[in-house]
Amino acid sequence: MSEIYQPAEDSYLLSENLKKFLPKLLKKNSNAKFLEIGCGSGIQLQTALESGIKKQNIFSVDINKKAVQHCKKLDFNCIQSNLFEKVSGKYSVIVFNPPYLPEDKNEPKDSQLATTGGKKGSEIINKFLKQAKNYLEKGGKIFLITSSLTKGIKFGNWKKTLLTKRKLFFEEIYLWKLEI
Ligand SMILES: C[S@@+](CC[C@H](N)C(=O)[O-])C[C@H]1O[C@@H](n2cnc3c(N)ncnc32)[C@H](O)[C@@H]1O
C-alpha cells in the first residue's frame, strides 16, 4: 500500500493561502462547503477547520486507502475515490494539491501515487479540470497546485489567477485560483 504523503512545501503553500482566503469567504457565507481531492495527511482539512469551516461542511477523498483511514481517524468526512468518482453535491471551495510530476522510473512505487501525475505530469490534473466544474457551486473557487515541471496542463475555459509561486531547489511551484 502507498505511504501517506507527508506535508511538504506544496502543502504549506496551499495551507498558508487557505488561511488567508477561507475567513474572507466565511464572512460572505458562514455555511461554505469545502472539498479536498487527495487529502493525504489531512493538513488542508485541519486548515479548513481552524479557519472556521464547520466540520460537517468539510469533505475529502483520497485514492489511497491509508490516507482515507488516517483522515477518518482524525474525525473528518473522508472516502476512497478516484478524483470525483464517489463525490456528489456541490462545494464552495475545492482544493487539490495533486500528483504533478512527470513519470520518473526511479521514483519508488510507494510515493508515486502522491507525486506522479502521468507521463507529462498533467494527466491527473487535466482529468480533475474537466470534472471539477460539475461539483462547484455558483461563484465557487478552486485552489490548485502545479509545478514548472508539469507539462501539458489544459486549463480550458477556467478563469485562472496565479495567486503565488515559490522557488524550490529543482522547480517552481504555483498556486492557482480557478473560477468558471
Ligand atoms: C501531493 S499529495 C497532497 C496531500 C495533501 N493534500 C497535502 O497537501 O499535503 C497528493 C494526494 O493526492 C492523492 N491522489 C493521487 N491521485 C488521486 C486521485 N486520482 N484521486 C484522489 N486522490 C488522489 C494521493 O494519494 C495523495 O494523498
Residue 137 lies in a domain: yes
pTM for this prediction: 0.97
Q: Can you name the residues that pair with 94 across neighbouring β-strands?
A: 35, 142
**pLDDT exceeds cutoff 70 at 175:** yes
Split at pLDDT 50, 70, 90, the class of 109 is confident
Residue 4 lies in a domain: no
CATH number of the domain enclosing 106? 3.40.50.150
Interval between CA 96 and ligand 1 midpoint (Å): 8
Q: Can you name the residues that pair with 136 across neighbouring β-strands?
A: 91
**Does ligand 1 have an atom closer than 6 angstroms to the CB of 142?**
no
Identify the domain containing residue 168 by its residue range. 9-179
Q: How many domains does the chain have?
A: 1
**pLDDT exceeds cutoff 70 at 77:** yes
Q: Please write the tens of the pLDDT for every residue from 7-21.
A: 999 999 999 999 999
Identify the residue whose C-alpha is closest to ligand 1 atom 8. Answer: 11
* Euclidean distance between CA atoms 101 and 97, whole angstroms: 12
Contact (CB, 8 A) for 9 and 173: yes
**Does ligand 1 have an atom closer than 6 angstroms to the CB of 41?**
yes
* Euclidean distance between CA atoms 38 and 157, whole angstroms: 23
* Euclidean distance between CA atoms 61 and 82, whole angstroms: 8
Residue 20 lies in a domain: yes
Split at pLDDT 50, 70, 90, the class of 1 is low
**Does ligand 1 have an atom closer than 6 angstroms to the CB of 37?**
yes
User: What average pLDDT score do residues 127-151 get?
Assistant: 97
Interval between CA 111 and ligand 1 midpoint (Å): 10
Residue 103 lies in a domain: yes
**Does ligand 1 have an atom closer than 6 angstroms to the CB of 61?**
yes
Smallest Cα–Cα separation from 174: which of 30, 14, 48? 14
**Does ligand 1 have an atom closer than 6 angstroms to the CB of 14?**
yes
Residue 111 lies in a domain: yes
Identify the residue whose C-alpha is closest to ligand 1 atom 14. Answer: 38
What percent of the chain has pLDDT above 70?
99
Residue 52 lies in a domain: yes
Print burial letters for 75-94: b (CB count within 10 Å at least 16), e (below 16).
ebbbeebebbeebeeebbbb
